Structure 1
Amino acid sequence: MSEENIANHEQDVSLGNKLSILRKELNLSQTDIAAKIYIHSAIIQDIENDDTLYIPDVFFKSYIKSYAEIVGLPPEEYLPFLKMKSKQRPKRKMKNYSQKPQQKRLGNILFFMTIVIILFALGITWFSVWKDNNQNLVEVNHYTATSESTTNI
């Protein structure tokens, strides 16, 4: 092969193929690489087959970086590929796993319960004060003399 064909062939080789070739040169299996990166070997197989659309960007970049470090691929060879891939990959909207709506709902419930307890306490206080006022009332009829009794004396 001429040098021009070799250069074209190197450009045609994908990052997955490069990583696979380097892995095989080091006599490492996909399982070995997966164990070193702490991922499933099926992901390594997908990376080598360039079938990575379902892997989130954050993980994909770190997997490639770790894999490249293990097999000795310099960053200047895989970084352009990562930039190109990140532009091609569809952007996915992340799900919101925040508990803010749940916390807001809990806050509303606590506020409502606090209002109910305060109103209940005020009601009991008002009732007890009203009851005490009614018991302290003395009927004036017992202390006043009627006009007939005063004239008889």
Structure 2
Amino acid sequence: MTINEADPQPQAEPEPVTTAGPGALLREAREAKGWTQAEVARRLNLRLAVIESIDGDQYKAGVALTFLRGYVKAYAKVVGVKEQEVLAAFDGMSGIEQIKAAAPMQSFSRKTRQQASDNWLKRISWLVLLGLLGSLVYWWWQDSGVNYMEPGLDPNVQQQEEPAPEADIPVVAPQLTLPAAPITDDADTTVEATPDTLAPVAAIDEKTAEVTEPTAAPAVATIVETETPAADPRLLAMNFTDDCWIKVTDGRGRVLAEGVQKARQALSLKGEPPFRLILGAPHAASVEYMNKAVDLSSFSAGRVARLTVPKS
């Protein structure tokens, strides 16, 4: 018995049933009005690419579903198509499910990226904070090391070396010549000079011995005449008894001094004459030029003095 086995034919996979979207319906209504896609985009204040994607039912998964429904609804209202009919066609499209599924994934991806960015910012903030704390600790350690001093010592007072002890100068007693013993006729009364009899005379205390020194000649008073230094025309001297703001400019326009001068302060300025002076408190300043005082009595207190030295 022969059994003819038929070769099995491959069965074609059923094509997915796609449901038409609202693009064709909206496109026909737009063409009936004689409008172009650009005209509708201008009326809806949308990009031309959005109107083209709606007419071709080509919706990008990157756009939120709520926005897509809003665009379709506004398109239908402009061209005069019922909104319920257009939205029903939009919701029945097969590609809408993919857009719905992609939306949560994109939201999750954005959330993950945001969390990664936040974690990175936190790490940077901690590193900056640790760096500041390290700098603060180092500064405190360095400052405490500078201020450290041994107990009993003041760092502001310099230790003075003790002077070396002066060498003791021995006092030498002068040698004394004793007179010869007197000679008498009576041998019994003769006193011999023996060491025992000379001891009281020769024993002289070193402390009571006086050393005679040559008398110094009287000092002759000499008068030294101090010569007055020659006057320098390039030198200007100033002294202050109180705080005074000044500005001094020489003949070449160079500012030699400017600012507030304190009480009991002196200045010696050198430049090319003539000097132009501005004194905020002339009563607190004294000016000397060519070894002569400059008269400032004409300037009253509270008045700024402006003068030229020497006067032209």
With structure 1 as the length reference, what TM-score do the two structures score? 0.64
Higher normalized strand content (fraction of residues): 2
The 5 Å alignment of 1:1-153 reads: 15-54=22-61, 56=63, 57-85=65-93, 88-90=96-98, 91-92=101-102, 93-94=105-106, 95-96=109-110, 99-133=114-148, 135-138=149-152
* Distance in 1 separating the partners of 2:136 and 2:83: 70
Contact kept? 1:53, 1:89, Cα under 8 Å: no
Please tell me the residue identity of whatever aligns with 2:132: I
2:129 alignment partner, SS class: helix
* Distance in 2 separating the partners of 1:14 and 1:107: 47
Higher normalized helix content (fraction of residues): 1
**Equivalent residue pairs, number:** 128
1:69-124 CA deviation, whole Å, 9 max, x = no partner? 10111222122122223774312221417544334322322222222222332232
Corresponding residue for residue 234 of structure 2 = none
Q: Alpha carbons of 1:70 and 1:127: their partners in 2 closer, same or farther (altered >3 Å)?
A: same
Please tell me the residue identity of whatever aligns with 1:84: G
Q: Alpha carbons of 1:52 and 1:127: their partners in 2 closer, same or farther (altered >3 Å)?
A: closer
Contact kept? 2:30, 2:36, Cα under 8 Å: yes
Q: Alpha carbons of 1:118 and 1:43: their partners in 2 closer, same or farther (altered >3 Å)?
A: closer
Contact kept? 2:23, 2:57, Cα under 8 Å: yes
Gaps of 5+ in 1: 1-11, 143-153
Q: Which has the higher contact order (CA 8 A, sep 6+)?
A: 1
* Distance in 2 separating the partners of 1:63 and 1:46: 11
Root mean square deviation, CA, Å: 3.1
With structure 2 as the length reference, what TM-score do the two structures score? 0.35
Give the C-alpha shift of residue 19 in structure 1.
Answer: 1.0
Contact kept? 1:23, 1:29, Cα under 8 Å: yes
* Distance in 1 separating the partners of 2:37 and 2:116: 43
Mean Cα deviation higher: 24-33 or 101-110: 101-110
Corresponding residue for residue 8 of structure 1 = none
Please tell me the residue identity of whatever aligns with 1:114: L
Please tell me the residue identity of whatever aligns with 1:106: L
Instruction: Determine which structure has more spread, i.e. the larger CA radius of gyration.
Output: 2
Q: Alpha carbons of 1:115 and 1:58: their partners in 2 closer, same or farther (altered >3 Å)?
A: same
Contact kept? 2:41, 2:47, Cα under 8 Å: yes
Q: Alpha carbons of 1:21 and 1:13: their partners in 2 closer, same or farther (altered >3 Å)?
A: farther
